[in-house]
Every structure is written in C-alpha cells, then in structure tokens.
Structure 1
Amino acid sequence: MAMWLKKVKLFALLCLFILIRIGGTAFASDYANPDAIVSVDELHSHIEKGEVKIIDVRGGMKYKLGHIPGAVNLDFGNFIDKSSPYPYMCPSKEQVEETLRALGLKNNDTLVIYGDTPNNAAARVWWILDRYGHKNIKLLNGDIAAWESANFNKEMLSPKIEATTYIINGVDNSKYASAEDVKASLDDPNVVILDVRSYEEYTGEKLLKGAKKAGRIPGAVWVEWTQALDEKGHFKSFNALKELYESKGVTPDKTIIVYCQGGYRAAHTTFVLHRLLGYPNVKNYDGSWVEWTALDLPVETGK
C-alpha cells in the first residue's frame, strides 16, 4: 500500500512539472488555430530537426548579447515605411522583399518570431508578413523570457546567411484599416473600434510623444493589449480570452478595428482575436492614434 501511494505521489509531481513546464500553452489545442503559437519545448524540437527559421525582432545589441540558436535578427525599429510622415507605418512591398532576402528567408519557410516579454513587436512583424502573403508564421509563446526560464542555450554568433530571392506576389488588406475605413465606421453598429492602449491614454489623461492630442476615437471600447497575457507573458487560454473580449462587446459577429499609438500593440490584439480566437473580420488600423490626431479627426476624452 505504501509503495502504491508513493507511485501516485510521483505521478502527481510529474504531471505538475509538465504543466509548469508548458505554462501558458497547456491549452494551446483549444485555440482556433493551435499552430499559431509554439512553446519553447516545441521550438527546441523544431530547431533540432531543422524545421523552422527563427526571427529575433529585438534591437541589435540585445540580439548580439544572446539569442535563440539559429535566429536571424530583424530589428523591428527599422522595419517601417521610412517615406511616411508617420513614424510606425507598414513598410513597402519592396522594403519587405529586400529585408527578407537579406535574412536568407524563402516564401515557403515556416517562421517562428520572438522578442522581449511582454512583446508586441513580434506580433507587428507577423502582421506585416501576413499582409504580404507569408503563410507559415508562429509566435513563440512567452518570447525570450520563456526560453531563458527553460534553461535552453543561447548563442552570440550570428548564423551564416545566404541571400535568397524572396518574392511577394500581392498584398492582403483583409486585416488592414486606413483612417478612411475608421471614419466610415464611426456610426456603424456592426463595427467595434477597439482601443488597446493603456487606460490613461484611452481617457486622455496621458499623451505619448508623436500624437497631437490626448483622448480616443469616439465610441471606442477599451481592452488593454496586455490583458490577453498572463503574469509570465504567455497567452491566456481560449476561454479566458473569449470571456475577456465578449464582456466588452468585442464579438466575432462584428468587424473589429483595433488601434493603439502606432499599430504595434494593435497588431498583438489583432493576432489574438484573429489567430487564437478565430474572429473572421479583424483589422489593424496601421496609422492608429498618431495618424488620427495628425489628421485632426474627432477625439473623445474622459471615463
């Protein structure tokens, strides 16, 4: 009897260890698209089998001080439209092609993207690459912090890169919104405008550099982007996410237009709503609050 109890306790401890190890990905199979994210254990296995290409979107110095083995560096701060009057806009087709070719990436590569924690830059790069037609993209759940917590090795040397002939065949604007799209949706009951900035930005108590005014787009509802993550920076479960957004009227029967300061935080929520929850009509307002206020469009303030 004592031996049997000992075996039960060992089994329970093993189960607990597995749950802790996989953390926020314990319920990954519940997501609308389970393959949209990858755990550190899954990524470690993919690396050993040579099945993926990894993109580190942190700044160059962080990359040089240690990155996931085999990762190439795409500094998200430079992955913008440098000809735009606004600081964070989506880069051109030609710029994206040039960047991906220089990183040695191919159209049919399965990409895993990661950054800092909590991170929205990885989701922003996902949104850009998805817009230009790349089909096989995953985000690392928990980002670099999860890799480090699992005690997997990092390396400082960059991998050898051979340039490719990456070709973009078109632009998919199904998850893109312009200022005109937002203006046309202000009084549309079938559209939810979702503000994912901090609550202080939403109410107008806080103004970040780059915007001309404080406040929000009239009629916008608020769910800060970080609310989709747990305390470790992992995505919350499908049920928790569903309850979070539906409680604010953000439901899959509506078209959801997401915005923030410059389209980065909004890209993260676009990923959550579209890829993890399966919402069919989600759009990231690329220019977001910086463009909206520069165009002197209507503003609302207060709680």
Structure 2
Amino acid sequence: MAEDDPGILVSTAWLAAHLKDPDLRVLDATMFLPGVDRDARAEYEQQHIPGARFFDIDDISDNRSDLPHMAPTTEKFMSRLRAMGVGDGHQVVVYDTHGLFSAARVWWLFRLMGQRHIAVLDGGLPKWLAEERPVEDMAPIIRDRHMTVRRQNQMVKDVTQVSAASKLGDHTILDARSAARFRGEAPEPREGLRKGHIPGSLNVPYTELLNDDGTMKDVAALRAVFDAAGADLSQPVITTCGSGTTAAIINLALERIGVLDHALYDGSWTEWGAFPTLPVATGDA
C-alpha cells in the first residue's frame, strides 16, 4: 500500500504518481442507466487507465434479487475480487467514465465489506483524459490475493428499516435523484414505478455535490449544499436514489465533511416505488 494514505478521494496527480506502486489496484466501475445505448465493458476494453481492472457492478451483486445490482454476499464479493487480483494490503482506487457517478457505489460497497483502503478518483476518466495522461487497451496481469471481509451491516438499510425511519423521523433521509423526479414531475427511467419520494425525505441531487469538471466540491461548498436542503446531519443519515448508485455520492460527500453515521438504502426507489402499499409524497416535501 502507498505510504501516504490518500483518504477517500485521490487526485489525478496522486494516481499518476503512484500508478506503478506494486500494491495499488485501479478499478474501472463504469455503468450506465437503463436506456443508455453504451457498453461499459466494451469501452473499458478500448481504453482504460493502465493496469485497471473492470468492476462489473451488475455482475458483482446479489443476482438472487429482482432488484438491480443489490449488494452481493460477502462470499461472492471475496471470490470476484480475488479473481480480479484485489485483496488484503492493496490500496484500491476506483473511477468511472462519467467523472464521479458509479465509482462512488463501488467505494460504498468496499466500505460495506469492511475495506478501508478504498478511494475514488476525483474527476474520473474525463479529467484523466483531459490532462492527456496515459491509457491502454491491454488486459492486466492477474495474481490472486486473498481478501478478508467483515461486513458492516450498519452501512446498509432495507425497506423495513427505511419505512420505520420515515414514520418516526429519527433519521435524515436524503434522496440523490433530480429535483423533477423527487417532486414526481418527471418519469422514472425504470418502467412501472410510481412518481415521487419517500415521505419525510429531502432532496440533495447528486449533481449539486459536484463541480462542472466532475470533481467533488470542497468541504465548505458541500456543507452549504446540505444546509440549503435543510438536512439535519446530527441525526443518522440514510441515502437513497433510483437504484442505490448515485445515493453513494451523498455517502461519499458526507464522509468527506466528517459525517460518519450514514447508511445507504440499497433497494432505493426501484423498490419503494414498486410497492403499492408504501406511501409516496410529491412536491418539495
């Protein structure tokens, strides 16, 4: 592992300086929303940061669930990562081709599995390419390494727990979807879902946490976003979104400003919006 712990976000300059560290592992965690005609794995195979492995979020998930890319079992996570040559003693840096989108989901997933040495590349592949840093199309050489996993159950919430939190008001629930989707004014990208949001939740569109170049805003600016949303960060926080992907960007932002009591609702609106017996709110609150 690199001697200078990079924390939860690394700059492109940091990654470039450490790219040849023997215990660094880089992951391309790109995924696209339903209806987007792009193939993340094919794009990875065409070009990726040197040495990067492809982390398939849909594959490394609980395929027994009808919901998309739910967190996998610890056994599946360990076996998939071992096959990718990622394990104990590695500093992992994850990125995506959006800037900062699905990479945060993989950061959260590693943390759920008890992994601490996991960071997101700030600005992702777009910033890396804009700075004319190297890419390649070669597959990395894989050497197995064992990974010790200790699942942190407090970092994930199910529908029953979120329903209770919504009724009791003892958690701050933050929704990362766009304002139009939160208010119920725009259709959901997945068919069959009701429009609106979890009663009592607040809207923090993930785009408001990012700069124009896809990097995450600084601590002061992040705090201002949460303040503007009316978020009480003295309570435990639950994040949600469409399918548990962009919610993790809020978790990453909370971690950056020192708010550590946060969890992610894995089923998110794909689950809540499909249950006719669960209440739905529309409008701003």
- The answer, yes or no, to whether TM exceeds 0.5 is yes
Taking the aligned partners of 1:64 and 1:46, their CA distance within structure 2 comes to: 22
Query: In the alignment, which residue of structure 1 is the partner of 2:22?
Result: 50
Query: In the alignment, which residue of structure 2 is the partner of 1:10?
Result: none
Aligned mate of 1:85, from 31, 47, 66? 66
RMSD over aligned Cα, in angstroms?
1.7
For the 8 Å contact 2:99–2:127, the answer to whether it is kept is no
Mapping for residues 1-303 of structure 1, pairs under 5 Å: 35-58=7-30, 59-168=40-149, 170-205=150-185, 206-273=187-254, 275-296=255-276, 297-303=278-284
1:251 deviates by: 3.4
Taking the aligned partners of 1:211 and 1:257, their CA distance within structure 2 comes to: 24
Which residue identity lines up with residue 154 of structure 2 in the other structure?
S
- SS of residue paired to 2:120: strand
1:211 deviates by: 4.9
1:210 deviates by: 4.6
Q: Deviations over 1:257-279 (max 9, x none)?
A: 11111100101111111x21111
Taking the aligned partners of 2:95 and 2:272, their CA distance within structure 1 comes to: 29
* TM-score normalised by L of structure 2: 0.89
Q: Which has the larger radius of gyration?
A: 1
1:65 deviates by: 0.9
Taking the aligned partners of 2:218 and 2:16, their CA distance within structure 1 comes to: 22
1:87 deviates by: 1.7
Taking the aligned partners of 1:263 and 1:111, their CA distance within structure 2 comes to: 21
For the 8 Å contact 1:211–1:289, the answer to whether it is kept is no
Distance 1:210 1:272, change over 3 A: farther
Query: Unaligned regions of 5+ residues in structure 2, if any?
Result: 31-39
For the 8 Å contact 1:88–1:287, the answer to whether it is kept is no
* TM-score normalised by L of structure 1: 0.84
1:183 deviates by: 1.1
- SS of residue paired to 1:257: strand
Identity of aligned residues (%): 30
Distance 1:289 1:92, change over 3 A: same
- SS of residue paired to 1:54: strand
Query: Unaligned regions of 5+ residues in structure 1, if any?
Result: 1-32
